A and B are shown apart, each in its own frame.
Chain A
Amino acid sequence: MTTVTLTNLRRVFSDDFVAVDDMSLFIADGEFLTLLGPSGCGKSTTLRMIAGLDAPDAGDIAFDGKRMNDVPPGKRNVAMVFQSYALYPHMTVRRNLEYPLRKQGVSKAERSARGEAVSDLMQLRELLGRKPRQLSGGQQQRVALGRALIRNPSLFLFDEPLSNLDAKLRSYMRAELIQLHKRVGKTMIYVTHDQLEAMTMSDRVAIMDKGRLQQLGTPQEVYNRPSNLFVAAFIGAPTMNLIKGGVDGVGEEMAFRAGALHLAPPSTFAQRTGKLPQGAQVVLGVRPEDVLLYCGNLAAFVTLIEPVGHETIIFLDVLGHQIVARTDAQTRLRQGAAVNVAFRMENVHMFDAADGRRFA
């Protein structure tokens, strides 16, 4: 039973680089939370502060409401899996697994019993006598997971644990980790820059950029209602179409204008956004799946076609704007073809062009 509370965390590195700033977060017991963001966004630093490997310059870290700032990492009862796996190269697999128990002063008999239980669980039986360098990447990963599991910690921390695996093994290990979370039911915090991992594994995703929390929500929430331009552009592949333009008309009459492109958002839109001043600069966001082909009245032509297999990505020129659409694999469109398109207006997003905030 462990909840994690971060309050206004801040970490500044010696060269005045603010790695994490004003980070506040509550992670519920048994939750799988992912810290997602581009490299250098502060997600790993946040994780290291939770582990106790890095000390915050300001703010508090609490487990179950108890302040943890001054508790050394070994006494926080957390387990951490590193991107490099961080297996001790001079120790056998068995000694790697038993190391945390050794440091807790667990008796030899119990150490070897628990070591064997974990090695059965992670299918490491035959490898117990080997050194890490004699193992494949996938096997090293399983040893690292086993070493995290063996001490029965109250909190699991993962720092990009799948980044060093090849694509096939990665999707397999993703499923394994989801299973593991279901089985042990412990709170897990997972750091990644891979949105696929974040979307498929997490209960909630915390998206970070430039040291700050950008949005916190379920994978559906961050995908369907990105709270700002950064999240909108970061989540989704291919990325959301973002069209810079101005607001024309007020209230029910509101329209969006960008060059030759002229769109009338549905009336519900105005209710959500409230009153936008005439001429306000905004960015309209349209997901590739919300670009409908063969309907509507926007004239477009195809500039590029990317067949992905199960679907086809189509690059369009819509009245001078580069727009990406997603359609099924059977499309008969060819490069250069003219086609009419429409945007599914009830799904479009609108952001303030000045500060990137979401209007609706």
Chain B
Amino acid sequence: MSRGWIAIAKKTARSFGSWIVVLIISFPLFWMVVTALKPRVELLQIPPTIFPRHPTLGHFADLLLRTPFPVYFLNSTFVALGTTVVVLVVGTLGAHSLARFRYPGREWMARAVLFTYLLPHVVIVIPLYLLVAKLGIINTPFSLIFTYTAFALPFGLWLLRSFMSAIPPDLESAALVDGASRMEAFFDIILPLALPGILTTALFTFILAWNEYLYALVMVSKDLNKTLPVGVISLLTTGFDVDWSLLMAASVLMSLPLVILFGVLQKHLTRGFGTGGVKG
């Protein structure tokens, strides 16, 4: 009897704790949404209103119709999707090679890949800038795809490699004997079984490319090629003046794709973060 009460009390305490953490973390998000919906007069009122008295979608309309925000949004989408595709294609094939084939320098290469991940991004701004300039893609979205791939690929390779190593080699052997070519075995067996790892890598890459500011600022100065983080800041902060309403509306729209992605992929991600969830 008393033991049952203790268990219930413990459970309640734990979920109470979780709720407090959730509230603390989600408050800024809540405030962002609320601010975006408030008319300008209500914005700096003291005492502040928690819920807008006269909610409006006008800021969203302004942002979408009177500013180049939609262009930045498309640029960001193109860069983030492009980077994700490149990282997934190179990452899955490379990880498969590192996990399955034996060749001289394999381990050395795998470690070198990890080493590149140790360098802070800001350290290689200048070399990467020169490289991108030499390739003639400076000021285009491709410069960012190139750069973000360099950042996301090492993580992707390592994560995917551990996923693929966990897949029993017999499965691939069986597929080969059953008449599949190497590529077919890769598509039929390895990719579906490494799916949680692939989705995790995809999401990591997408978020990195979507949020990145420094390189986007350095590599692209042409206004119509800017991505969201750089574009929005240069659009809405001029000198000492910050347009909070539009900025918050932009922030809401910027975070939407990530919220949707997380929602859709949540189930696979929890499996992905607990690496090695493949049972043979």
Contacts and interface: CB of A to CB of B under 8 A. Distances in A.
Given A79-B178, A84-B170, 15 more contacts: A14-B102, A52-B177, A53-B177, A80-B173, A80-B174, A82-B174, A86-B170, A86-B173, A86-B280, A88-B175, A88-B189, A89-B279, A99-B178, A147-B178, A151-B179
B179 A53 contact: no
A90 B192 contact: yes
Interface in A93-135: 99-100, 103-104, 133
Interface string A32-56: 0000000000000000100111000
B170 A89 contact: no
B178 A74 contact: yes
21 contacts: A48-B173, A53-B173, A72-B176, A73-B176, A74-B177, A74-B178, A74-B180, A78-B177, A83-B170, A84-B168, A84-B280, A86-B170, A86-B174, A88-B189, A89-B171, A89-B278, A99-B175, A99-B178, A99-B188, A104-B179, A151-B178
Interface string B28-40: 0000000000000
Interface in B189-223: 189, 192-193
Nearest to B103: A14
Interface string B256-267: 000000000000
Given A14-B102, A74-B181, A133-B279, A86 B168 contact: yes
Contact of A82 (B173, B181, B278, B279): B173
A90 B189 CA distance: 8
A335 B170 CA distance: 50
Interface of A: 14, 48, 51-53, 72-76, 78-80, 82-84, 86, 88-90, 99-100, 103-104, 133, 147, 151, 157
Nearest first, the 4 A-B pairs at minimum CB distance are: A103-B179, A86-B174, A74-B179, A86-B170
A71 to B, nearest CB: 12
Contacts of A82: 170, 173-174
Q: Is the interface of B mostly helix, strand, loop or mixed?
A: helix
A148 B253 CA distance: 54
B181 A72 contact: yes
A85 B93 CA distance: 26
Contacts of B102: 14
Contacts of B189: 88
Contacts of B173: 48, 51, 53, 73, 80, 82, 86
Nearest to B176: A73
Nearest to B102: A14
A86 B171 contact: yes
Contacts of A73: 173, 176-177
A89 B178 contact: no
A190 to B, nearest CB: 16
Contacts of A80: 173-174, 177
Nearest to A74: B179
B243 interface: no
B184 interface: yes
| Residue among B179, B180, B184 having the largest count of chain A Cβ atoms under 10 Å | B179
Given A74-B181, A103-B179, A89 B280 contact: yes
Nearest to B167: A89
A157 B102 CA distance: 25
Interface in B106-145: none
A76 B174 CA distance: 13
| Residue among B168, B192, B280 having the largest count of chain A Cβ atoms under 10 Å | B280
A5 to B, nearest CB: 20
Contacts of A151: 178-179
Nearest to B178: A100
B11 to A, nearest CB: 31
A217 B80 CA distance: 65
A74 B175 CA distance: 8
Contacts of B181: 72, 74
Contact of B176 (A14, A53, A88, A89): A53
Interface in B266-280: 278-280
A48 to B, nearest CB: 8
Contacts of B174: 80, 82, 86, 88
B170 A74 contact: no
B27 to A, nearest CB: 41
Given A84-B170, A84-B280, A90 B193 contact: yes
A99 B278 CA distance: 20
Contact of A103 (B168, B180, B193, B278): B180
A100 B175 CA distance: 8
A142 to B, nearest CB: 16
B179 A100 contact: yes
A4 to B, nearest CB: 15
Nearest to A78: B177
Given A82-B173, A82-B174, A89 B193 contact: yes
Contacts of A86: 168, 170-171, 173-174, 280
